[in-house]
């Protein structure tokens, strides 16, 4: 577990074969570089752990699932290298999900913004509540969802991604996200969500491990170039975040 002022990430290996990875940050479960690093490492570890059959990815609290990148940390980026390194954190998490031999189930209890949408898209199956609306706000702060776009487009297609990106200040409902393919199931509330997740993960954990590994490989066919692709995209975002437009926009959001 990482436990700092910047939040924490925990991994619990259950006797039932379910590895639960949970993250928390006081700023609406946003993701600074330290948490992104921990997430990638724990997803990778759970993937090779012999006692786990399925991975459950979740965040703490009952409101926001993930607010995406840490704005405070974005304002601390001073050069292209720092920018590329920060955004490569999201690339590493997505690639860890992609390359994990275990099926990853995401629990989306509340709103997902920016990188939070990318995190949901990197999972193999998403269960959400009706409160789990989504938004890609990157254009509104002068950058774009470049790193997460391959994962999001893979799930919802280019037309829906275009709508989500261009309407950068508007939330789309959980029902919209389900219709477009980001969410697989939408539950009325958190207790119902947790009941559905417990049932699904227990069933998956009882299935033949090699069959699950084979399924995972099929689900991610055609993404073998993502190691380099997502790092290239991180460099684009890392350069844009240095612009005066983006710096002013970030400061404006923080003052609200």
Mean local confidence (pLDDT), 179-202? 98
Mean local confidence (pLDDT), 194-219? 97
What's the confidence (pLDDT) of residue 188? 98
Q: 243 to each of 44, 125, 188, how far by Cα in Å?
A: 34, 36, 42
- Residue 3, pLDDT > 80, answer no
Q: What's the predicted TM-score (pTM) here?
A: 0.95
Give the chain's end-to-end CA distance (angstroms, integer): 32
Number of Cβ atoms within 10 Å of the Cβ of 81: 11
Greatest extent of the chain over all pairs of C-alpha atoms, in Å: 53
Mean local confidence (pLDDT), 31-54? 96
Residue with tokens 């790193």: 147
Strand partners, 24: 8
What's the confidence (pLDDT) of residue 40? 98
Count CA atoms closer than 13 A to 79's CA, side-chain side: 1
Question: Which of 108, 114, 84 has its CA nearest to residue 184?
Answer: 108
What's the confidence (pLDDT) of residue 1? 43
Say how far apart CA 58 and CA 231 lie, in whole Å. Answer: 25
In our burial notation (b when 16+ CB lie closer than 10 A, e otherwise), range 153-164 reads bbbbeeebbeeb
| pLDDT, tens digit (0-9, with 9 covering 90-100), for 90-139 | 999 999 999 999 999 999 999 999 999 999 999 999 999 999 999 999 99
What's the confidence (pLDDT) of residue 256? 62
Mean local confidence (pLDDT), 228-254? 89
Burial (CB < 10 A; 0-12, 13-18, 19+), residue 173, is: middle
What's the confidence (pLDDT) of residue 20? 98
Percentage of the chain lying above the pLDDT 70 cut = 97
Contact 111, 63 (CB under 8 A): yes
What are the backbone dihedrals phi and psi of residue 54, each rounded to the nearest 5 degrees, phi first?
-145, 150
- Residue 2, pLDDT > 50, answer no
What's the confidence (pLDDT) of residue 247? 86
Percentage of the chain lying above the pLDDT 90 cut = 88
Strand partners, 11: 21
What's the confidence (pLDDT) of residue 183? 98
Mean local confidence (pLDDT), 80-91? 95
What's the confidence (pLDDT) of residue 5? 65
């Amino acid at each position: 577990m990482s436990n700092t002022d910047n939040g924490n990430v925990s991994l619990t290996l259950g006797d039932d074969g379910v590895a639960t990875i949970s993250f928390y940050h006081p700023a609406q479960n946003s993701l600074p570089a330290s948490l992104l690093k921990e997430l990638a490492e724990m997803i990778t570890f759970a993937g090779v752990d012999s006692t786990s059959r399925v991975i459950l990815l979740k965040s703490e609290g009952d409101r926001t699932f993930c607010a995406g990148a840490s704005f405070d940390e974005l304002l601390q980026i001073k050069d292209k290298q720092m920018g590329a390194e920060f955004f490569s954190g999201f690339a590493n998490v997505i690639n860890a999900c992609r390359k994990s031999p275990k099926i990853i189930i995401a629990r989306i209890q509340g709103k997902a913004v920016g990188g939070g949408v990318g995190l949901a898209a990197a999972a193999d199956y998403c269960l959400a509540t009706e409160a789990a609306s989504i938004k890609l706000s990157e254009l509104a702060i002068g950058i774009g969802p470049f790193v997460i776009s391959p994962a999001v487009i893979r799930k919802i297609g280019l037309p829906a991604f275009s709508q989500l990106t261009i309407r950068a200040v508007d939330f789309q409902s959980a029902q919209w996200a389900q219709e477009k393919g980001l969410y697989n199931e939408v539950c009325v509330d958190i207790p119902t969500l947790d009941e559905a997740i417990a049932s699904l993960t227990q069933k998956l954990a009882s299935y033949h491990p090699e069959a699950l590994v084979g399924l995972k490989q099929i689900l991610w066919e055609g993404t073998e170039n993502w190691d380099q692709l997502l790092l290239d995209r991180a460099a684009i975002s890392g350069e844009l975040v240095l612009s005066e437009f983006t710096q002013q926009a970030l400061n404006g959001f923080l003052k609200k």
